[in-house]
Amino acid sequence: MQVITETKVKIRKPRHCWGCKTEYPQGTLMNRVASVDGATINSAYWCKTCDDYLAKHRHEIDFDNGFDYGDLLNFDDYIPFNGNKSKQELKNEHYN
Ligand SMILES: [Zn+2]
């Protein structure tokens, strides 16, 4: 898997983060990552929590084998941005 572009976008409808499966509300700023895997182009949305984690651990993760939906939850030291916060709080804290 090879990343082609990364763009910060304000989502126009609720999206699930690829890394942690958390659903973020419309208006949240997320990182849209386009990648190519063989002949397939994929587009996924990442929340800031996952994005920050990836930035720190990029060299430890084997992206060549692809990255499944919610895979970050399998990492021992990954702490998801959990559901104790309201949707509004999630929205405000991310990339603002
Ligand atoms: Zn996430």
Q: Answer yes or no: is pLDDT of 55 > 50.
A: yes
Rounded to the nearest angstrom, the distance between the alpha carbon of 72 and the centre of ligand 1 is: 8
Mean pLDDT of 89-95: 62
Dig out the tokens for 14 from the structure. 């609720």
Domain range list for the chain: 2-92
Rounded to the nearest angstrom, the distance between the alpha carbon of 40 and the centre of ligand 1 is: 23
Q: What is the DSSP string of 33-84?
A: EEEEETTEEEEEEE-HHHHHHHHHHGGGS-GGG---TTGGGGSTT-----TT
Mean pLDDT of 49-58: 88
Q: How confident is the model at residue 96 (pLDDT cuts 50, 70, 90)?
A: very low
Mean pLDDT of 48-77: 84
Furthest-apart CA pair in the chain: how many Å?
Answer: 40
CA angle 87, 35, 39 (to 5 degrees): 135
Q: Answer yes or no: is pLDDT of 7 > 70.
A: yes
Rounded to the nearest angstrom, the distance between the alpha carbon of 80 and the centre of ligand 1 is: 7
Query: Is domain 2-92 in CATH 3.40.50, yes or no?
Result: no
Mean pLDDT (the chain, rounded): 83
Dig out the tokens for 49 from the structure. 């929590």
